[in-house]
């Protein structure tokens, strides 16, 4: 079930009773006021009208979300005997904004939309409250008396004796403060309260008339139809979605509401994250890195770094290959044995290796090196158990014959070989991948963004990042390349706007999730490049991209849920929530959960990553231009302080959502410890 939504386009001129539900008024204009039971509320962007409230809304534009009692019944929430107030208006506003988007997209029945409705119902009924009904003290007490004795017969004469005032004075009080006469006030309230027996308890009309002391069932039907517009029998037969508010100047046509843009007075956008185990069922964001070290001669820099030991491959937590982007043919000399020895040295490291091949003869050298190493180790270390190694060969079908590729072995002794075929030209030519290529059954396909950039440069075409991204994902989808694509040099098209905005970088990266198998990343940033995605900068320090990879590791093992501006996953003893703010201003994120899924109070840690936290430049005075003068001692000391900002908090979810402020252009990982 879903709330009924209306657009109120002009102020009400008469008060109306809220029947059989609750209303949330979401202001879309300034100076909106809501009058409830004679008391005026103003200056807010969100108002709650409780069941049976007499209300009058004055506005130029507002969305009305009608929540019928049947919605609350599914959660066993009693709205007929309790009034409620809004404790966290920003949380509810964020919920309503997202619900309206689901409504406009006709996605009301999706899992997340229904889960959001559940959260909204719980949030608006979190805090029971008894509030004043009128600024006039006498009228306030009269309204309380009527409410407490509504099943009985109440007349002006009875109130006159009870409160020692004349009947004419009472009539004036009601008309002046409530814009409704005494009879209509009590009669409409009695019908409103009787709806509990109609909607919740499904009583017969005759029984309801007797319970509420109407002279007859006929009299009850007459009164019911006067205020509800239909008979009780007809009302009981209506589907919940057909319940309607009888208010002038309202629009409920979905086509008209689709054209409406929500821009609430509350200004900056807010995001609600609802943690629900049921919906954390999407694939993890899992991929491997190809750590690009450039030439073969750089292998020692990632294997045996003596000072900045954290750069050594053995310390990496992410699934990774050492990627020698220099074609392997460059290390092949006229002396075959010298080439074999170099390759043996490489494979002795027992680490995953990725390399490019442009000549099938190079493959034969690789196989020979693997065989020689196997026999060497078998002879000298027979008792050491064999360990599986991985070798990824990046092949270009334009330079290798398909028959040669077909004969590449996938296992040579303890070495498991996978292949990736470059299909960049197919993408550039907008062609489907040939059946001959598919028949080779490659493990992966490669898209080289540097080739794409060079192609457009040669063609003098200026293609925007957005257009390339859209056409690429369309190509990958059409060629069934989900979770089988390796992106090489993917930052070639990244604009400075993306590179300098950690939140936006993550947002764009997440779009590749359905297709991504692996991606290259430069090992060390070159000093002659102003900005480049790499694990380490030119002074041996971890970059923002390094720390982002560590954060993403938490979302690579278990199922996830991908929401707007966030990702949620559940591990054995915690929930991890990855938040990203792409805006140029701080944003509030509201984290809440379904009941009984998180213990209260809950310990919560937050790691914030941006250009100030997790980037060494934030610690270096801008006046220093030449960092090459930094001694190793200073570089190492900087590395000790270069981390994301970390903090620990505690929160009781019984008191509402947990609110965290994420700085502009930032990523944050929030962990809720459920132990």
- pLDDT of 12-61, one tens digit each? 999 999 999 999 999 998 889 999 998 999 988 999 999 999 999 999 99
Q: Which of 311, 376, 380 is nearest to 347 (CA)?
A: 376
Report which secondary-structure segment, H or E, holds 175: helix 167-178
Question: What is the architecture, at CATH level 2, of domain 4-131+243-258?
Answer: Sandwich (2.60)
Q: How far is CA 148 from CA 129, 145, 203, 213, 219, in A?
A: 16, 5, 22, 15, 22
Give me the phi and psi of 13, to 5 degrees please. Answer: -110, -15
Task: Report how far residue 379's alpha carbon sits from residue 368's, in angstroms, rounded to the nearest whole number.
Answer: 17
> DSSP code of 60?
S
* pLDDT tens-digit map of 488-505: 998 888 888 888 899 999
Residue of 582, 559, 560, 577 lying closest to 507 (CA atoms)? 582
At 379 the pLDDT is 74
Take residue 581 and report the two structure tokens written for it: 């703010």
pLDDT of residue 131: 62
Predicted confidence at residue 265, as pLDDT, reads: 44
Give the pLDDT of residue 334: 62
Please provide residue 372's backbone torsions phi and psi, each rounded to the nearest 5 degrees.
-65, -40
Instruction: For residue 629, give the 3-state DSSP assignment.
Output: helix
pLDDT of the residue at 266: 47
Give buried/exposed letters for 334-361 (b at 16+ CB in 10 A, else e). Answer: eeeeebbebbbebbebebbbbbbbbebe
Whole-model pTM: value is 0.76
CA-to-CA distance for 68 and 195, rounded, in angstroms? 11
Give the list of residues 6+ apart from residue 314 with CB closer than 8 angstroms, or none.
none
Token readout for 55 is 């209300």
- Which single residue is written with the structure tokens 């907008």? 430
DSSP assignments along 263-321, one per residue: --TT-S-EEEEEE-GGG--BPP---EEEEE--SGGGHHHHH--SSSGGGSGGG--S-EE
Coil, strand or helix: which one is 656?
Answer: coil
Residue pair 117/2 in contact (Cβ under 8 Å)? The answer is: yes
d(CA 516, CA 509): 9
Ramachandran region of residue 105, left (φ > 0), alpha (ψ -120 to 50) or beta?
alpha
3-class SS of residue 535: strand
- How far apart CA 191 and CA 179 sit, in angstroms, is 19
Q: What is the dihedral of CA 581, 665, 491, 541, to 10 degrees?
A: -120
What is the predicted pLDDT for the residue at 380? 66
**By C-alpha distance, which of 294, 279, 409, 437 is closest to 356?**
294
Domain ranges of the chain: 4-131+243-258, 137-239
Residues sharing a CB contact under 8 Å with residue 138, sequence separation 6 or more, in sequence order: 163, 165, 173
Return the pLDDT at 36. 93
Q: How far apart are CA 359 and CA 344, in angstroms?
A: 19
Low-confidence residues of the chain: pLDDT under 50: 264-267, 383, 530-531
Question: Could you confirm whether domain 137-239 is CATH 1.10.10.60?
Answer: yes
Rounded-to-integer distance, Cα 492 and Cα 497, Å:
13
């Amino acid at each position: 079930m879903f709330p009924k939504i209306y657009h109120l386009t002009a102020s009400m001129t008469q008060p109306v009773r809220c029947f059989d539900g609750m209303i949330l008024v979401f202001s879309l204009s300034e100076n909106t006021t809501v009058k409830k039971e004679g008391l005026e509320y103003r200056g807010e962007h969100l108002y709650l009208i409780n069941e049976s409230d007499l209300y009058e809304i004055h506005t130029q534009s507002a969305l009305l979300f009608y929540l019928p009692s049947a919605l609350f019944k599914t959660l066993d929430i009693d709205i007929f005997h309790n009034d409620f107030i809004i404790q966290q208006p920003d949380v509810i506003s964020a919920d309503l904004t997202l619900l309206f988007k689901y409504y406009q997209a006709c996605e009301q029945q999706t899992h997340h939309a229904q889960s959001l409705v559940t959260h909204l119902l719980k949030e608006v009924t979190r805090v029971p409250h008894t509030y004043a009904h009128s600024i006039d003290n006498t009228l306030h007490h009269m309204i309380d008396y009527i409410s407490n004795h509504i099943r009985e017969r109440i007349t002006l004469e009875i109130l006159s004796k009870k409160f020692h005032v004349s009947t004419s004075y009472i009539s004036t009080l009601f008309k002046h403060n409530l814009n409704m006469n005494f009879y209509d006030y009590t009669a409409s309230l009695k019908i409103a309260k009787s709806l509990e027996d109609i909607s919740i308890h499904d009583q017969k009309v005759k029984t309801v008339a007797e319970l509420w002391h109407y002279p007859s069932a006929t009299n009850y039907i007459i009164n019911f139809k006067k205020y509800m517009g239909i008979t009780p029998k007809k009302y009981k037969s209506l589907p919940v979605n057909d319940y309607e508010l009888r208010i002038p100047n309202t629009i409920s046509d979905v086509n008209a509401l689709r054209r409406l843009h929500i821009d609430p007075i509350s200004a900056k956008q807010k995001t609600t994250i609802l943690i629900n185990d049921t919906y954390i069922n999407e694939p993890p964001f899992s991929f491997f890195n190809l750590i690009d070290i450039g030439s073969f001669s750089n292998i020692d820099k990632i294997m045996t770094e003596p000072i900045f030991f954290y750069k050594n491959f053995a310390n990496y937590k992410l699934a990774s290959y050492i990627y020698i982007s220099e074609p392997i043919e460059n290390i092949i000399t006229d002396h075959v044995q010298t080439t074999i020895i170099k390759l043996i040295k490489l494979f002795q490291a027992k680490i995953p290796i990725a390399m490019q091949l442009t000549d099938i003869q190079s493959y034969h050298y690789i196989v020979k090196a693997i065989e020689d190493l196997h026999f060497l180790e078998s002879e000298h270390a027979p008792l050491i158990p064999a360990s599986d190694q991985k070798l990824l060969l990046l092949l270009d079908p334009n330079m290798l014959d398909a028959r040669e590729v077909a004969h590449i072995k996938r296992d040579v002794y303890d070495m498991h070989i996978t292949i990736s075929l470059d299909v960049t030209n197919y993408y550039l030519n907008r062609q489907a991948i040939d059946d001959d290529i598919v028949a080779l059954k490659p493990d992966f396909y490669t898209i080289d963004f540097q080739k794409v950039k060079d192609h457009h440069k040669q063609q003098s075409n200026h293609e925007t990042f957005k257009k390339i991204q859209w056409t690429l994902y369309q190509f990958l989808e059409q060629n069934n390349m989900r979770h089988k694509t390796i992106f090489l040099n993917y930052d070639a098209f990244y604009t400075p706007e993306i590179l300098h905005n950690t939140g936006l970088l993550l947002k764009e990266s997440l779009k590749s999730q359905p297709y991504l198998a692996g991606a290259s990343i430069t090992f060390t940033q070159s000093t002659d490049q102003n900005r480049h995605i790499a694990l380490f900068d030119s002074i041996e320090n971890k970059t923002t991209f390094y720390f982002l990879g560590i954060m993403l590791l938490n979302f690579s093992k278990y199922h996830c849920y991908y929401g707007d501006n966030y990702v949620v996953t559940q591990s054995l003893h915690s929930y991890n929530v990855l938040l990203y703010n792409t805006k140029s201003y701080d944003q509030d994120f509201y984290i809440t959960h379904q009941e009984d899924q998180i213990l209260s109070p809950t310990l919560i840690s937050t790691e914030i990553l941006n250009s100030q936290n997790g980037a060494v430049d934030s610690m270096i005075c801008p006046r220093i231009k030449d960092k090459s003068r930094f001694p190793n001692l200073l570089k190492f000391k900087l590395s000790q302080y270069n981390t994301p900002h970390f903090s620990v908090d505690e929160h009781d979810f019984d008191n509402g959502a947990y609110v965290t402020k994420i700085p502009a252009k930032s990523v944050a990982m929030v962990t809720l410890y459920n132990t």
